[in-house]
Structure 1
């Protein structure tokens, strides 16, 4: 194993260890930044990098190595043009799109984005697709100052770092879905308790009341439960009526 391969293995192992210790959203952002940093430091042809995540048309740049990368990552989505956009929309078999010379042949492919990337100091970009789930699109974007910086080895190495980032994103998305499910269950449970106390019904009857209200109003069950919860909170905070005189 040569020094470059050893450096790559050590970097990936370090990223994997950080993934195992990730527990919160803040940890996710920090670890994404570590993956980007490791890719930039390990791949000598790369000068900067970042991860673009587009969800419900909102674009965020996670773990960027510079402010210029943040702007270029967002610019690709705003213009609907660039390697990052193509790797998500065109779905290449290997999940990679490479722009080898944005001041040369690739300038015609992305005529609005390419000049701004060159002006920012980057001639080549490699984008690796991380996620194509419904509503969420993500890519690892690596920037190089020199043209034709990305050979086959660079593409394979970028793919390995992309796998690390993709696993982290998938895990955080599943954790978020699970947390929302648990939150919904808690809200529904509290709403059932309110109905059981107010109407002297049992657990099953209270749940059926929530279901019937949801069907009659065409409002999601959890939203009906949340309304009851908020309404009960308002009642508890309202001042008591003054006693009436005899």
Structure 2
């Protein structure tokens, strides 16, 4: 099977898995499979992982080996390395190549390069994964030998990076949806408390919450959580009085 054929098979398999995995946990599992498929498909790649940057902090995700976790985190700590360049200063094609970290590329990342070589990796390919204004990522492939990532390999890595972007974006949307649903439930319960306590209707209860939010400069959901907490405290006190 040629590299292109293997790529098509891998992408089709991952796409089928994605379609059959609607929850966030399954999306994360599928993302791990994409990383594994990229390592298996790109000739010369020995390990891989994803560096995820959110709100200024970079973390290692879905590594195929513990060494990848350590090297991804090292780049985050040093703020230096191919994955950091791919995240913070991505080139136009989104690909950052380190052909030989024990050669010419050592000068580009002087603190990271020797540590990578000590860990057994001479070359690295990072693919930028744009997400939102506050979060970015990079798919990282590591190789023990230098000069292993040719133009075809870079194309394949870029395609896997695009698929990882779809999964990360889907996971982010699921997170936001879950948060929105949870917030809606909290606000709904708070409205119920006000409707019972003050004998008001749904719209009037929401207006009371909104006015409190504006007056206190608190988010609507924060006011609702405070109100729930006060209601629980009041119930507990009444229970204690009856059974004290």
- TM-score (normalised: structure 2): 0.94
Report the Cα offset of residue 115 of structure 1.
0.4
Give the match's secondary structure for 2:101: coil
| Superposition pairs of residues 44-193 of structure 1, within 5 angstroms | 44-193=43-192
Aligned-CA RMSD value: 1.5
Match of 1:221 in 2: 220
CA distance in 2, matches of 1:138, 1:198: 48
Give the match's secondary structure for 2:15: helix
Match of 1:28 in 2: 27
Match of 2:8 in 1: 9
Deviation digits for residues 24-66 of structure 1 (CA, Å, limit 9, x no counterpart)? 3321221111111111111121011001112234433222110
Unaligned runs of 5+ in 1: none
Report the Cα offset of residue 191 of structure 1.
0.5
Contact 2:78 2:112 in 1 (8 A): yes
| Matched residue count | 242
Report the Cα offset of residue 242 of structure 1.
5.1
Unaligned runs of 5+ in 2: none
CA distance in 2, matches of 1:220, 1:14: 43
Contact 1:32 1:62 in 2 (8 A): no
Contact 2:86 2:127 in 1 (8 A): yes
- TM-score (normalised: structure 1): 0.94
